[in-house]
Amino acid sequence: KKISRLAIFTSLSSLVYLIIISASKTKLFWYDAQIFPLLALLTALIIHQVFNILKNIPYLQKNLRINILPYLFLIIVFFTPYQKTIKRTYKPQEKVWEKEFYAISHFMKDAVKGKYQIDGFDLVYKGYDVHLDFYVIRLAQKGVHVNIIEDYKSLKPGDQVIVPDASLRDLILKKYTTETISETENGILLLKILEPTAS
């Protein structure tokens, strides 16, 4: 009885919430987030009910020593989600549009492992850079000093820079005469600033 009352409450709450956010003029995808716990609870209640029904089938109880049908049901229900989670966790594959974004993180990870010598380099990075702070701190612990700078216009002759993407590369190459130190297979460019270009 308690379970059926909880199921009715959860269903009504979910339905009312969906109606309210569907009727609103502003439709943002994160408005849906509040309903996920209710839908998860409703799904759990349904799975619990089906499990109990399968467990208590009189014919199976009478003819089988161990009724494995409810456990097979659970395996079937949870197999695909677990498989996807394991695949995403242990064998992640980046989408084409993610490759450039994550290239700098992979580069910094390799630098921490010692694959690249970047002591004294400036990493020119525009935007949110907190995900790179971890690598900068790890490198500093190993005695490798890298600074993250946002303003490429503040570079001076002699500076060595890490350029993570094509748009920054174009801006820097327009403003400065440079010498290419190296370029990685995923497009990270290591440059030495020689002098500002005459503009």
Q: Are 196 and 175 in contact (CB under 8 A)?
A: yes
Mean pLDDT of 139-159: 94
Same domain, 189 and 142: yes
Same domain, 40 and 109: no
Same domain, 85 and 157: no
Q: Which residue has the tokens 């497009």?
A: 187
Q: Domain span at residue 18?
A: 2-90
Same domain, 76 and 130: no
Same domain, 86 and 119: no
Same domain, 83 and 109: no
> What is 31-95 written as a DSSP string?
GGGGGHHHHHHHHHHHHHHHHHHHHT-HHHHHH-SS--HHHHHHHHHHHHHHHHHHHHHHS----
Same domain, 86 and 106: no
**Helix, strand, coil % in the chain, rounded to nearest 5:** 60, 15, 25
What span, in angstroms and rounded, lies between the C-alpha atoms of 73 and 79?
10
Same domain, 101 and 80: no
Task: Indicate the residue among 90, 107, 138 that finishes a domain.
Answer: 90
User: What confidence tens digit (pLDDT) does each residue in 38-57 have?
Assistant: 999 999 999 999 999 999 98
Q: Are 177 and 105 in contact (CB under 8 A)?
A: no
Confidence of residue 136 (pLDDT cuts 50, 70, 90): very high
User: What confidence tens digit (pLDDT) does each residue in 92-126 have?
Assistant: 888 888 888 889 999 999 999 999 999 999 999 98
Confidence of residue 62 (pLDDT cuts 50, 70, 90): confident
Same domain, 12 and 80: yes
User: What confidence tens digit (pLDDT) does each residue in 7-43 have?
Assistant: 899 999 999 998 988 888 887 878 888 889 999 999 9
Q: What is the pTM of this model?
A: 0.61
Any residues with CB less than 8 A from the CB of 32 and at least 6 apart, and which? Answer: 21
Any residues with CB less than 8 A from the CB of 38 and at least 6 apart, and which? Answer: 10, 13, 14, 17
The 10 Å Cβ neighbour count of residue 7 is 16
Helix (H) or strand (E) holding 182: strand 176-183
**Tokens representing residue 38 in the block:** 């209710």
pLDDT of residue 199: 62
Task: Indicate the residue among 40, 57, 90 that finishes a domain.
Answer: 90
Kindly give the pairing relationship between strand 122-124 and strand 189-196: unpaired
Same domain, 77 and 129: no
3-state secondary structure of 176: strand
Considering its fold, how many domains does the chain have in total?
Answer: 2
Same domain, 72 and 119: no
Any residues with CB less than 8 A from the CB of 129 and at least 6 apart, and which? Answer: 148, 150
Same domain, 151 and 179: yes
Task: Indicate the residue among 42, 68, 90 that finishes a domain.
Answer: 90
